[in-house]
Structure 1
Amino acid sequence: MKRYLLIILISFPCISIYGQYSETIATARPGAANGAGTVGKGILQFQAGLQFDNVKDIRDSSNWSTDNISENLVVRFGIRERFEVSAVINHINSTEYISESAGSILRKGFNTSLIRARTKINENMAFQVGIETKLRGKDYQINYIAPRFRVMYNTKLGENASLTTNLGAFWNGNDNKPRGFYVFSYSLALTNKISLIAESYGDFIRTGINNFFDIGLGYNVNKDMLIDLNAGWGENYPYKSHFVTAGVSYRIITRFRPEEKK
């Protein structure tokens, strides 16, 4: 734990630099990528979503599949202009179909309770570290608190497009074996209110890699509110999966935000 706290302190900027706060809300939705930005000092931001997904075993000899309905909430708060903290919770209702003879298993509860800190290194790069806690439902308990980290990088591709790259690793809380992950996210502003994203992402260990793809749309209702719709799929033998998710993001300027200098 001390090692990860030290990383945060080293990365923490020595001075607060105005200009991080965006005129239009910037959020990780839709999609899997996190942009290399922070919300800005004194900004409280909520990102909520509802997801439906299915995973099935595509081998001829198997009837196994699972259907999930998940509710996700991310709460972010800017401590400094380039430093923020956040919390992530995810509640899931899962139905696992074993076989015609064995029937199904129902599980529900919180399967994610994550606390994070993010610092912006420069205008295009940010670093985030998090800890997955043991505050979970009984069906999703882990043996240890599980660290994770993520490096985020933004690249402009002309006036209306950009590429966001995420690289990192996480532990599952049940063993000491880390798993790496990547995200490549292409974003295109179709209008001043509508944006399109297309992503390739996955996770990997020494013995193999899982790849997934998604496409999403975001609509800025106003400068402080975004609604989104996203769908994705993956085929990583012997499993095939797909999902659809919708969400809303909203930010509040609290009294802790300093007045902008004229």
Structure 2
Amino acid sequence: MDAARRTNPLLRSLIFLSLALPVLGFSQYTEVINSNRPGLSVSAYAVGKGVFQIESGFLYEQRDHSDLSQESTIMGAELVLRYGFFKEMLEVTYEGTYVQQDITFTAFDLNEKRSDFSRNRLGVKYLLYDPFKNPERSKPNLYSWRANNKFQLRDLVPAVSVYAGATFNLGDNPFYPEDPIVAPRAMVATQSSLGARLVLISNLIYDRIGTDYPEMEYLVSLSHAFKNPKWSVFVENQGIKSDRYSDILLRTGVAHLFSKSFQADLNVGASFKSTPSRMFGSLGFSYRFDFHQDEIISIDDQKAGQNGASIKRNAFKDDSDAALPGISKKKMRKLQRKAKKKKKD
């Protein structure tokens, strides 16, 4: 109960932040897969309505604790399932990591094996604000390459999404022996485009809310695409704060796009302290099943000029000099002369 009381003010702050932001969501569906791998940070954007995506990998870690005289190796599999439904900005996500840890207690020459989920959660993410919703902002400058590629302060305005879900602790989990079966989880995710090839993502996470060991976490990730856009690299900083475990982790990696729906990746990382010291890596892939369909807007619901240029008054009269949409004035005059000739005949 004391832990729950200590965390309530922060929980209220997160809830207030999510409600205070304007609900102007407009997710950008892309023709190319949008994966959260190879890092752990979560994009502000959803995968898109009708898109089902798998993000999976295999991990290895060497973890040693000098104070406890422990040496251990960890091997496991990661699985993330993402599905966009109902609206373009809405996404449901499952995240699971199942690991086996082989521990050696060097002071006693004893070995122990532990296996279970180190990550097992389900949640929903909703895009609240997208700065690129305004078409005027995303218009290219037809007269200046530099204007289209230089950094501008407005690029710092991020897309913002919120996440609500739960962490599940099923059975007798040796990694979280005192946690309840279900613990709430909340997150705010932001994403900014710092130029044509740089993307900055940040996550503020509050996990295991109301338990004896609530956990605060942040993730900041910077990704860069090469001139060959099929290749990209990233660097990511992760901070974890809890009475059970606190650390600062750094990871980096590379991703390669084999097709518009398939990506492979590799990442490595390490911790900054020796209690425990951690060195880890992961090899994985992302694949999407794209059933997305653009919504058809009835012509009665379309605004003027939304589907092509507006038609001028009297454009269809024979004696009008105005051209029909898609027809040049020269061709229009030629058609008019033919029409007049037919009338005389």
Runs of 4+ in 1 over 4 A off after TM superposition: 13-17, 205-209
1:1-262 equivalent positions in 2, closer than 5 A: 17=26, 20-59=28-67, 63-79=69-85, 80-99=87-106, 101-123=108-130, 124-136=159-171, 138-140=173-175, 142-171=179-208, 175-190=211-226, 191-205=228-242, 209-254=246-291, 257-259=292-294, 261=296
Q: CA distance change for structure 1 residues 74 and 206 in 2, over 3 Å: closer, same or farther?
A: closer
So what's the TM-score if we normalise by structure 2?
A: 0.66
Give distance in 1, aligned partners of 2:199 and 2:186: 23
Give distance in 2, aligned partners of 1:144 and 1:93: 20
Alpha carbons 2:213, 2:244 under 8 Å: kept:
no
**Whose relative contact order is higher, 1 or 2, with alpha carbons under 8 Å and at least 6 apart?**
1
Amino acid across the alignment from 2:52: L
1:96 to partner: Cα distance: 1.1
1:236 to partner: Cα distance: 2.3
Q: Of Structure 1 and Structure 2, which has the larger fraction of its residues in strand? A: 1
Alpha carbons 2:100, 2:116 under 8 Å: kept:
yes
Q: Of Structure 1 and Structure 2, which has the larger fraction of its residues in helix? A: 2
1:101 to partner: Cα distance: 2.5
1:134 to partner: Cα distance: 3.1
Q: CA distance change for structure 1 residues 172 and 245 in 2, over 3 Å: closer, same or farther?
A: farther
Please state whether the residue corresponding to 2:108 is helix, strand or coil.
Answer: coil
Amino acid across the alignment from 2:121: L
Percent identity between the aligned chains? 23
Q: CA distance change for structure 1 residues 179 and 109 in 2, over 3 Å: closer, same or farther?
A: closer
Q: CA distance change for structure 1 residues 157 and 45 in 2, over 3 Å: closer, same or farther?
A: same
Q: CA distance change for structure 1 residues 171 and 181 in 2, over 3 Å: closer, same or farther?
A: same
Amino acid across the alignment from 2:163: Q
Stretches of structure 2 that go unaligned for 5 or more consecutive residues are 1-10, 131-158, 297-306, 308-345
1:177 to partner: Cα distance: 3.8
Q: CA distance change for structure 1 residues 163 and 134 in 2, over 3 Å: closer, same or farther?
A: same
1:20 to partner: Cα distance: 2.2
Give distance in 2, aligned partners of 1:16 and 1:198: 28
Q: CA distance change for structure 1 residues 189 and 130 in 2, over 3 Å: closer, same or farther?
A: same
Alpha carbons 1:108, 1:137 under 8 Å: kept:
no
Please state whether the residue corresponding to 2:42 is helix, strand or coil.
Answer: coil
1:47 to partner: Cα distance: 0.4
Alpha carbons 1:146, 1:172 under 8 Å: kept:
yes
Q: How many residue pairs end up in the alignment?
A: 250
Give distance in 1, aligned partners of 2:167 and 2:247: 22
Give distance in 1, aligned partners of 2:120 and 2:243: 27
Q: Deviations over 1:177-236 (max 9, x none)?
A: 422111111110012100100111111248995211011101011111110000000022
Give distance in 1, aligned partners of 2:242 and 2:114: 27
Alpha carbons 2:25, 2:128 under 8 Å: kept:
no
Q: CA RMSD in A?
A: 2.9
Q: Deviations over 1:150-170 (max 9, x none)?
A: 111112222111211111111
